[in-house]
Amino acid sequence: MKEAQPRTVYLKDYRAPDYLIDHTQLHFELEPQATLVKSTLGVRRNPAAESSGALPPLWLDGVDLELLSVAINGELVPAQRYRELPGGLEIDVPGENFELEICTRINPQANTSLEGLYLSNGMYCTQCEAEGFRKITYYPDRPDVMSLFTTTIVAPPTYPVLLSNGNKVASGTTDDGRLTVTWEDPFAKPAYLFALVGGDLQWVEDRFTTASGRDVKLQLFTEAKNIGKCAHAITSLKHSMRWDEEVYGREYDLDIFMIVAVDHFNMGAMENKGLNIFNSACVLASPETATDAAFQRIESIVAHEYFHNWSGNRVTCRDWFQLSLKEGFTVFRDAEFSADMNSRAVKRIEDVTLLRTSQFAEDAGPMSHPVRPDSYMEISNFYTLTIYEKGAEVVRMIHTLLGAEAFRRGSDLYFERHDGCAVTCEDFVRAMEDANGADLQQFRRWYSQAGTPVLEVTDAHDAASGTYRLTIRQFTPATPGQEEKLPLHIPVAIGLLDDKGQDLPIAEDGSGTVILHLTEAEQTFEFNQVATRPLPSLLRRFSAPVKLRYGYSDAQLQFLMQHDSDAFNRWDASQRLALNALSELQAQYRTGVPLQTPEQLIAGFRSVISDTALDPALVAKMLSLPSAQELAEQEGEIDAAAIIAARAFTRDALADALHDEFMARFKQLDIRKPYAPNAGDIAERSLKNTCLAYLCANGTAQALDLARAQLDRAENMTDSAAALAALVEFAPESEATTHLQAFYDRWQQDTQVVETWFGLQSSSANYGTLARIKQLMEHPAFEFTNPNKVRAVIAGFSARNFTQFHREDGSGFEFLADQVIALDKVNPQIASRLVTPLTRWQKYREEEGQKMRAAVQRVMESGELSRDLFEVVSKSLSTR
């Protein structure tokens, strides 16, 4: 049965299911092109169903299935009693309770969408969230239908590892010599958490004892060649399990926890009950092959998927409009975990950078939606930065408003009250209120209102009375379909610095930070006994996902950079200083005057570069210029050429003026020690490599020699990739090509390193030209059906190489349109993500914007589009 035509699904239309499935028995006979799936379902009329009276037909979702038979209570159902319709199967039912048996045939080998059951390097694996189970068998594929699953897998002996959710309860050999294994999951779950794996895999094993003494077997399965890359994920898993016990009182609930690494995967990983499936790039690492960033990403994704066992699996979502219930909460949980394991300030800076660069852009674009959307065409398009990152910020604000202890009381009540249930964001907020007698009535608007709020802050000091007043005005710009916006309840953490840079003791307990509750469109907060005018440190720790405007002078920003007790705001001051300089330079570029050296920025950066008292990771972040994408997000109308020119000029000016400081700091940090991915060492490598990049930008022979030497002798991928990236960007082209070839020759057997190698070229402003991107797509290691390769090469260019993608001839846009059209036939989810940069054409200068729009239009007219791509393209074209 084919997929249904594009249609819009509305939250207001939610109805409880007519039927429940108490138990689900699945029987798979694995064959690459013809896998047989028999499902036996215990069906029961839902007492809470909203339709009353006569028994309505049973609706089962199904896509790309070949129906072989339908039987009820052991008898074949004649064809006139069921109907195969677009998107599913409708069956006339004999009564309120019955057993339904359905046989279908599917073709995993032909499944390049990587949704449902598919093959990755000959290994069977599944991805069912959100609506992939319907590609495996006919089923009520909705998260509020929770069932007990038993799964039997039969496969030839060439697939010795056969896995599914829960505990292994039987295994053996069939008469014809095939292997058979049966798994039973004791926890009721929705179909989206189902998983199956079959392959010739190796594994590493460890154990974990829970707080209450349960002995849990931990296993990580992978292709044999990767077996040496599993240790970090296992360590991360054990840390996550302990942390969730200590911080949330949550224990693991099965005797076995399995992770499987697969090369072909649309997302980072998937939290299937007891059997997490991971994109290889998000789980496999060794010091020689993975960068520090990869080590940290793996730690956080392993934690994220593990934490879902409670926030997502034990308590799940009623419908997909509630997706942020599990995703926002779980991202908040994993962010706090990473902050506890590493540097809290640096983790916060990284998350806020992502939010400001990409989520703010999403909120201002044609796909803007609230944390709890009220409609969608294709739910896969809503696994967004808004659902994940802004959703996590919303949970963080509840944490800030209530305090850590009250938040924990709320989460305890939430898990206890809703264990085994499919619930809503409203249930989460209510548990937080009920556990604490709190009032989050106005706060709820964060779930329903889209767009990024803007806070405008002004202040006044009256020396005679010693009164200082902060006035904050809030407004949220209109977003598609939501013209009117209401004031939100916003926690604004602030401090006041005296002229020595010390915090005034403004909090009740005498400390320096208070949380202001902004609830009105405009509100004034008064502070007494303030003798001299203080300098405000606003929105400390980024206490709310908003844009903050206050007329800081460059001198005040330099003062905050040096003195603010809030590390996040120190960094933020450095970024504001850079933004001021860059926006001034863009204006100069547009008016055609010669660009002027940004002296204030140079002075500001000089003051931190040699500060050895500061965490080197924080220094590295403070010395990093906002990306072109982040600059674009700042502008009312984006002028790509101006951004590119201003940013390159500023980088070169800094490299030139601070050469000696960069060199001194590089040499100080350039020490050789055995690799360890701990916060201290990661910090040193990050500052060292930030200095190296500036030194190479300066282009002196001496600087390039440093990079050559580092590439030559590096024993870890962080240092070799940083040196290679610097050379690719700044060495003569022929030399860059030579280094790249040598690097490829050395690492060609390693999938993850080859992906790094692709990405480093495609995102290089100098080297990653369109011609070269096209060459990379011809490379034998490139695979159009592998999302990691597509992301590394194509998205590396379109989403991370602003300079080349935005060349004035528009060739980058045409190229991307071609790739999106081709990819939509192979993998709609990836096609619809890839097209994103083009869909934001409205914000660009007229001439460029029209070229981008024309490319989107061409995609629209290219033929029949998937529902995924149709939604984003049609919404883009209908937004001005």
Q: What is the contact surface with Zn ion in residues (CB under 5 A)?
A: 327, 330
Q: Closer to ligand B3K by CB, 41 or 269: give it.
A: 269
Using CB positions, name the residue nearest to ligand B3K.
129
**Which of ligand B3K, Zn ion, none does residue 539 bind (CB under 5 to 8 Å by kind)?**
none
Tokens of 542: 């980024």
Nearer CB in complex with ligand B3K: 133/666: 133
Contact call for residues 184 and 163 (beta carbons, < 8 A)? no
Interface residue with ligand B3K among 18, 185, 244, 305 (CB under 6 A) is: 305
CA end-to-end distance (rounded Å), the chain: 37
CB of 339 to ligand B3K, least distance (A): 19
**Which of positions 265-294 make contact with ligand B3K (CB under 6 A)?**
267, 269-271
**DSSP-assigned letters across all residues of 818-868:** HHHHHHHHH-HHHHHHHTHHHHTGGGB-HHHHHHHHHHHHHHHTTSPPPHH
CB of 497 to Zn ion, least distance (A): 39
Stretch that binds ligand B3K, among 145-153, 300-308, 333-341, 409-417 (CB under 6 A): 300-308
Q: Which is nearer to Zn ion, 327 or 378 (CB)?
A: 327
2 DSSP assignment = P
- What does 38 bind: ligand B3K, Zn ion, none (CB cut-off 5 to 8 Å by kind)? none
In the chain, the amino acid numbered 796 is G
CA 440 to each of CA 487, 829, 830, 870: distance values in angstroms, whole numbers, following the listed order: 14, 36, 38, 37
Is 129 a binder of ligand B3K (CB under 6 A)?
yes
Q: How far is the CB of 419 from ligand B3K (least distance, A)?
A: 20
DSSP string, 441-500: TGGGHHHH--S--EEEEEEEEETTTTEEEEEEEEE---BTTB-------EEEEEEEE-TT
> How many Å apart are CA 321 and CA 323, to the nearest integer?
6
The DSSP call for residue 766 is T
**Is the distance from CB of 646 to CB of 373 less than 8 angstroms?**
no
Residue 258 binding target from Zn ion, ligand B3K, none, CB below 5 to 8 Å by type: none
131 binds, among Zn ion, ligand B3K, none (CB under 5 to 8 A by kind): none
Contacts of 317 (CB under 8 A, 6+ apart): 143, 323, 325, 326, 422, 423, 424
Q: What is the CA radius of gyration of the chain?
A: 28
767 close to 736: Cβ distance less than 8 angstroms: yes
* Min dist. Cβ of residue 280 to ligand B3K (A): 15
Comparing CB distances to ligand B3K, the nearer of 142 and 308 is 308
Region from 2-10, 38-46, 302-310, 687-695 binding ligand B3K, contact rule CB under 6 A? 302-310
- 187 contact partners, CB below 8 Å, separation of at least 6: 148, 166, 253, 254, 273, 313, 314, 420
Contact 798, 812 (CB under 8 A): yes
Contact of residue 130 among ligand B3K, Zn ion, none (CB under 5-8 Å per partner type):
ligand B3K
In the complex with Zn ion, the residue whose CB is nearer, 392 or 687, is 392
Q: 329 or 666: whose CB is closer to Zn ion?
A: 329
Nearest to 496 by CA among 397, 564, 568: 564
| Residue type at position 831 | A
Q: Work out whether 824 is an interface residue with ligand B3K (CB under 6 A).
A: no
Nearer to ligand B3K, 308 or 621 (CB): 308
Q: Does 93 participate in binding ligand B3K (rule CB under 6 A)?
A: no
Length of the chain (residues)? 880
In the set 299, 305, 630, 661, the catalytic residue is 305
Rounded least distance, CB 870 to ligand B3K, Å: 17
Amino acid in the structure at residue 210: T
Q: In the complex with ligand B3K, which residue's Cβ is closer, 234 or 267?
A: 267
Nearer Cβ to Zn ion, position 327 or 572? 327
Query: What are the b/e assignments for 244-266, b being 16+ CB within 10 Å?
Result: beeebebbbbbebbbbbbbbbbb
| Site membership for ligand B3K, residue 149 (CB under 6 A) | no
Output the CA–CA distances (angstroms, integers) from residue 277 to 261, 301, 711, in the order listed: 6, 11, 34
Per CB under 6 A, 114 contacts ligand B3K: no
Residue 330 vs 689, nearer CB to Zn ion: 330
Nearer to ligand B3K, 270 or 663 (CB): 270
Taking the complex as a whole, how short is the minimal distance between the CB of residue 225 and Zn ion, in angstroms?
A: 28
Q: Which residues within the stretch 309-328 sit at the binding site for ligand B3K (CB under 6 A)?
A: 327
CA atoms within 13 A on the CB side of 71: 12
Place of tokens 């709310």: 544
Name the segment binding ligand B3K (CB under 6 A); options: 20-28, 301-309, 656-664, 782-790: 301-309
| Least distance to ligand B3K, CB of residue 324, Å | 11
| Nearest distance from C-beta of residue 448 to Zn ion, angstroms | 22
Task: Please give the Cα distance from 266 to 777 (Å, whole number).
Answer: 19
Per CB under 6 A, 380 contacts ligand B3K: yes
In the complex, what is the shortest distance from the CB of residue 661 to ligand B3K, in angstroms, rounded to a whole number? 42
Alpha-carbon distance 662 to 647, whole Å? Answer: 19
383 binds ligand B3K (CB under 6 A): yes
Minimum Å gap between C-beta 123 and Zn ion is 23
152, 27 Cβ separation under 8 angstroms = yes
| Range in contact with ligand B3K (rule: CB under 6 A) among 106-114, 234-242, 303-311, 668-676 | 303-311
Residue 25 binding result from Zn ion, ligand B3K, none, given CB thresholds of 5 to 8 Å by partner type: none
User: Of 552, 557, 504, 513, which is closest to residue 531 (Cα–Cα)?
Assistant: 504
Q: Which does 267 bind (CB under 5 to 8 A by kind): ligand B3K, Zn ion, none?
A: ligand B3K
User: Least distance in Å: CB of 844 to ligand B3K?
Assistant: 29
Q: Which does 129 bind (CB under 5 to 8 A by kind): Zn ion, ligand B3K, none?
A: ligand B3K
CB atoms within 10 A of CB 481: 12
Is 106 a binding residue for ligand B3K by CB under 6 A? The answer is no
Amino acid of residue 573: A
Contact in structure between 48 and 56 (CB atoms under 8 Å): no
- Helices 425-436 and 404-418 cross at an angle (nearest 10°) of 120
Rounded Cα gap, residues 392 and 385, in angstroms? 10
Q: Considering the complex, what minimum distance in angstroms separates the CB of residue 865 from Zn ion?
A: 27
Binding pattern to ligand B3K, positions 250-269, x when CB under 6 A?
A: -----------------x-x
Can residue 377 be called a binding residue for ligand B3K (CB under 6 A)? no
Active site residue 327: no
Decide which of Zn ion, ligand B3K, none touches 383; Cβ closer than 5 to 8 Å per partner kind: ligand B3K
Q: Which is nearer to ligand B3K, 389 or 566 (CB)?
A: 389
| Burial degree of 793 (CB within 10 A; 0-12, 13-18, 19+) | buried
Q: How many residues touch ligand B3K (CB under 6 A)?
A: 12
DSSP designation for 57: P
The token duo for 84 is: 């195969």
Q: The tokens of 788 are what?
A: 């990691």
Between 88 and 312, name the residue whose CB sits nearer to Zn ion.
Answer: 312
Q: Does 304 bind ligand B3K (CB under 6 A)?
A: yes
Q: Let me know: does 97 contact 103? Beta carbons within 8 Å.
A: no
Question: Interface with ligand B3K includes 130 (CB under 6 A)?
Answer: yes
- Other CB atoms closer than 10 Å to residue 679's CB: what's the count? 18
Contact indicator for 313, 249 with CB cutoff of 8 Å:
no
Q: Compute the least distance from the CB of residue 303 to Zn ion, in Å.
A: 11
Catalog residues that contact ligand B3K under the rule CB under 6 A.
129-130, 267, 269-271, 304-305, 308, 327, 380, 383
User: Looking at the annotation, which residues are catalytic?
Assistant: 305
